[in-house]
Structure 1
């Protein structure tokens, strides 16, 4: 695989509108006013280039990721051939917003990316993708970092509905300087144990 990539500026009014709206929404969601050194979006033309950038053969479901202050998304023109996802304009907007939300997560938490269920769950919730997933009847796997896309976004949505988004932001900001077991921070913020019983009880309320 090549280690050399040619990058050019892509004047795309449609994507600029999506980017601007996503940044405004995420500024509001995370209560962060991001003005300088904002994340850049790189549109990757095809699966071959994704594999080269990531230095491995990637699954077709992977159509976006973030790295430091850069967000990478597969070009919408390649979705039909190079991804396992059907393309819609709305889903593409949410994909970009999801990856940008990861950049905000890093800022809010001081560069953390774990636990994976929190990392992905917050981005799914903040991007609106939680409405695209079938809501699980019970939580069984996400706390073990399995099937996080299926359960974690809904878990974040439930927490925000029951206790307010401010509590979720308190959790993220508190994580920035927290050095102990994350379950202890969760308990301090929500006065709840971090386990499946807790989240399943939220479904039932």
Structure 2
């Protein structure tokens, strides 16, 4: 089956993206080698992405989209259109993304891709295992919720800092300048869920 849908299950995000890439490539009569060269991706990696065996980061997907002459949103269109009621992301399969200001040693995995034209929320699993870089600060619309899973972290929100330990949570308005202040105990893992404001109809 084209999207490798198991009986009764909708295709995963990786399967849908891979299927879209493969169809766009074949539509233009391009080989994996040609697209891989244009996108600066290895042929093996591109093959794994097409077959849903590897999760690609946004930078890689952007290069693939450019190589295919389409917008990156085209790679998600099949997933948006699928009549899924739930998104199931297996352990370690969240899309790795790079948020502006993040440095090496800080890894963000997007755990769900919003379906539809309006971004409602973004859930990230954030891992930090390197204290050698300057910590980023952020500002964005909406409300952010943090939940500490592992390690200890001092987190700044405006003029205050909070020591977050496993089981602790922190909720704040995204417009307030925020970000890690001190990484106290490695390895550090926490959930960050950003809820965006609804736009008026």
Q: Tell me if TM exceeds 0.5.
A: no
Bigger proportion of residues as helix = 1
TM-score (norm 1): 0.29
Bigger proportion of residues as strand = 2
